[in-house]
Structure 1
Amino acid sequence: MNYLAHIYLSDEDDFIKIGNFMADAIKGNSYESYPVGIQIGVKLHRFIDSFTDSHEIYRKSKHRLHQKFGHYSGVIMDIVYDHFLAKNWQQFSDTPLEQYADDFYNLLQKEYAILTPKTQNALPYMIKTNWLVCYQSLEGLELILFQMDYRTKNRVNMPAAMQDIQAFYAEIEHEFLTFFTALQHQTKLELDTLRNEFCYYN
């Protein structure tokens, strides 16, 4: 799963959202120096990644891209799954996606000092291009793939995956919706466990 899903699955706790969002920039046990909410967010992020990578439905979606894109098929499918979350947003939230995204950008600006340097550097571009809403359209999805391809030094031409994504679009969307129901359930259980472990009940 990519940024939008990680934020959404953090419930409504601001620090858990931030920790979940920037977890990839926090290596090893260094998360332990952050406030408890951030720590829970990082651990929740790692749980979500592990659950996703091992799930048979996600692996089925990813396998369609594996022959052409190898290791990067997972990177691409994470972004594609976020596209389907954004596209079907009204099924998951009563808050319009545009407002949800703005609220999150405002939260990051408010808590700027606690963000990792990598997150601080990315924030202006994230707001300018409206990453979280950009996922919603196929054009936006292609743009995100182009940006990710640039960040990975154009190793596999990620935008070329659009051909396969569109060829199996209905199938992948159905797989996402089925998988995400399971992910929501398991994430809620894990979040409850982490809150109890840290005695964190905000």
Structure 2
Amino acid sequence: MNYFAHLHIASLTSTSWVGNLLGDFPVDANRLDSDLLLGWRLHQKVDVMVDKHEASLLFRAMERKGRRRFAGIVQDITMDYWLIQNWPQFSSVPLDVFCEQAVAGLVKDKSRSPERLRNMISSLEHDNWLSNLGTLDGVDRAIRSIMHRWKHGAHLQGFIDDLPNVVAQAEAPFLALYPDLLDYVEQEMKKAEATHSLG
């Protein structure tokens, strides 16, 4: 899952907005404040569950132009697309209201964020582009952003070249996976409440 899904999970679990994004940024977990650490740990558990889910395995195995070994990166971004497309199914909060809440929550802990995340939060303060992740243009921009900062980014070009098809391929896996993920998160939070730790 990418940024939007992790923010949705943060809202459902009343855990740190920033903490739930930190799994995608370089941090020393041993130095995190307890609330950020809780979100970071939840992010890690979510990523592992998603990677192992049969719907993810199916998506990564599909025939397409993009190289199979990098399909998981693109899956994360397309999952955000389909979450936004199906938003009323997963939240009673209007999409624009949620996006405002998410940015406000991120800004609150901006000073405790690593530099690249602080820059992203600043970008969202200037122009709240979260809902744009639910458009083909938003998916394109997200993939190109990874391409520009990752040394192996050129290998994602095949997904860009076949983007409408790639996004369409992700719909069924998302619908199969996301309800299971939310159930998993609920169970993990119940364990955390019982043990006061996700570790």
SS at match of 1:156: helix
Structure 2 partner of 1:184: 182
Cα distance change of structure 1 residues 66 and 56 upon mapping to structure 2, 3 Å threshold: farther
Alpha-carbon contact 1:19-1:38 (below 8 Å) kept: yes
Cα distance change of structure 1 residues 66 and 126 upon mapping to structure 2, 3 Å threshold: farther
Give the TM-score, by structure 1 length.
0.84
Structure 1 partner of 2:90: 92
Alpha-carbon contact 1:86-1:136 (below 8 Å) kept: yes
Alpha-carbon contact 2:70-2:155 (below 8 Å) kept: no
Query: How much does 1:147 deviate?
Result: 1.9
Instruction: State the one-letter code of the partner of 1:38.
Output: L
| Partner Cα separation in structure 1 for residue 186 and residue 124 of structure 2 | 27
Structure 2 partner of 1:110: 108
Structure 2 partner of 1:25: 25
SS at match of 1:71: helix
Cα distance change of structure 1 residues 18 and 192 upon mapping to structure 2, 3 Å threshold: farther
1:40 and 2:63 are equivalent in the alignment: no
Which moves more between the two structures, 176-185 or 138-147?
138-147
Instruction: State the one-letter code of the partner of 2:142.
Output: I
Cα distance change of structure 1 residues 138 and 67 upon mapping to structure 2, 3 Å threshold: closer
SS at match of 1:84: helix
| Partner Cα separation in structure 1 for residue 192 and residue 83 of structure 2 | 25
Query: How much does 1:70 deviate?
Result: 4.0
Instruction: State the one-letter code of the partner of 1:19.
Output: G
Structure 2 partner of 1:8: 8
5+ unaligned residues in a row in structure 1: which ranges? none
Instruction: State the one-letter code of the partner of 1:72.
Output: F
Alpha-carbon contact 1:84-1:176 (below 8 Å) kept: yes
Alpha-carbon contact 1:69-1:156 (below 8 Å) kept: no
Identity in percent: 22
Match of 2:173 among 175, 178, 181: 175
Query: How much does 1:47 deviate?
Result: 0.5
Query: How much does 1:8 deviate?
Result: 0.9
Instruction: State the one-letter code of the partner of 1:22.
Output: L
Deviations 1:25-75 (A, max 9, x none): 254xx3243332211111110100101111111111122267632432111
Alpha-carbon contact 2:66-2:157 (below 8 Å) kept: no
5+ unaligned residues in a row in structure 2: which ranges? none
Aligned residues: 197
Alpha-carbon contact 1:145-1:158 (below 8 Å) kept: yes
| Partner Cα separation in structure 1 for residue 91 and residue 8 of structure 2 | 9
Alpha-carbon contact 1:25-1:118 (below 8 Å) kept: yes
Cα distance change of structure 1 residues 153 and 131 upon mapping to structure 2, 3 Å threshold: farther
- C-alpha RMSD over aligned residues: 2.5
